């Protein structure tokens, strides 16, 4: 079984730029959630994608957006990067039914470390 | 709003000694409760989860956790730690096992240091 893979592993950007992070979900999973983990903090929920639509969002501004593709992989896009966006971005996948609820635990990737200069 | 508190930022334990990591949560309904471990440069690995049933839950790597509804706590324990247990430990709460549309809410983590 293939686990959750994220790319790239590290990325350096400057303020005001845009970035795209990618995630391939674990085999058999159909939902993808994205989390932001600032240094010394726990992960914070950004949003979840299910059936190629965003079906839940945490307290993040609209410049954080995403996509989910028919193969269940996903992208996280961040526009107008700010210094506070420097963090580890984690992707997690799970198997959901119905309205996106899942009785299966999430499996996390190793993350993308984003540094903003 | 839901929240998770891990009161101990750092804990140092001697190898072979027992371990208890504390977690308190606030949640409006019956939540799923989780413990995840994160090694440096790695993602999160699920140690165990609880929703209902026996309040003592067994997980991987010899870890267990006890749910106490009256104290809103879900403390993680291990009878004898190994040097390889040194890592960051996160307690989390959520409405569904897979997080769902609201995602999981994590604590700030406890950094476990193992002394030889």
Per residue in B30-42, pLDDT tens? 788 999 999 988 8
Residue A78, CA atoms < 13 Å, CB-side half-sphere: 27
pLDDT on residue B107: 97
Residue-wise pLDDT for A72-111, tens only, equals 999 999 999 999 999 999 999 998 877 667 767 789 999 9
Alpha-carbon torsion A46, A52, A56, A62, what sign? positive
Give the three-state DSSP class for B85.
helix
Asked if B21 and B8 touch (Cβ cutoff 8 Å), the reply is yes
Q: Which among B45, B96, B109 is the nearest to A42, CB-wise?
A: B109
CB contact under 8 A, B99 and A92: yes
Q: Is 90 exceeded by the pLDDT of residue A18? A: yes
Mean residue pLDDT of chain B comes to 92
Q: Which of B25, B91, B100, B109 to mutate to test the interface with A (most CBs of A within 10 A)?
A: B100
Q: Is 90 exceeded by the pLDDT of residue B29? A: no
SS (H, E, C) B11-75: EEEECCCCEEECCEEECCCCCEEEEEEECCCCCCEEEEEECCCCCEEECHHHCEEEEEHHHCEEE
pLDDT on residue B52: 83
Q: Report residue B51's pLDDT band, with 50, 70 and 90 as the boundaries.
A: confident
Cβ-based neighbours of B71, under 8 Å, separated by 6 or more: B24
> E strand or H helix at A55, and its extent?
strand A53-57
Q: Is 90 exceeded by the pLDDT of residue B11? A: yes
pLDDT on residue A1: 58
B contacts of A100 (beta carbons < 8 Å): 100-101
For tokens 């409760």, the residue is: B33
Measure the CA–CA gap between B63 and B80, rounded to whole angstroms.
9
CA distance A11 to chain B (A): 14
Q: How many CB atoms lie within 10 A of CB A13?
A: 16
Report strand pairing: B110-115 vs B10-14. Answer: parallel
Give the three-state DSSP class for B108.
coil
CB contact under 8 A, B104 and A102: no
């Amino acid at each position: 079984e293939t686990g959750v893979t994220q790319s790239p592993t590290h990325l350096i950007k400057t303020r005001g730029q845009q970035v795209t992070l990618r995630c391939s979900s674990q085999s058999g999973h159909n939902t993808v959630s994205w989390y932001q983990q600032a240094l010394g903090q726990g992960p914070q929920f950004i949003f979840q994608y299910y059936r190629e639509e965003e079906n839940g969002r945490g307290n993040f501004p609209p410049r954080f957006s995403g996509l989910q593709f028919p193969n269940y992989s996903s992208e996280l896009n961040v526009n107008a990067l700010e210094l506070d966006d420097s963090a580890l971005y984690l992707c997690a996948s799970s198997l959901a039914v119905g309205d996106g609820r899942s009785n299966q635990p999430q499996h996390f990737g190793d993350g993308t470390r984003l540094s903003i200069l | 709003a839901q929240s998770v508190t891990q009161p101990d930022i750092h804990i140092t334990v001697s190898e072979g000694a027992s371990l208890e990591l504390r977690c308190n949560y606030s949640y409006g309904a019956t939540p799923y409760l989780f413990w995840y471990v994160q090694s440096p440069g790695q993602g999160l690995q699920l140690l165990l989860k609880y929703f209902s049933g026996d309040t003592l839950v067994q997980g991987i790597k010899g870890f267990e956790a006890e749910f106490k509804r009256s104290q809103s706590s879900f403390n993680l324990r291990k009878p004898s730690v190994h040097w390889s247990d040194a890592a960051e430990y996160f307690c989390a709460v959520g409405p569904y096992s897979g997080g769902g549309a609201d995602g999981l809410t994590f604590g700030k983590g406890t950094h476990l240091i193992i002394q030889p």
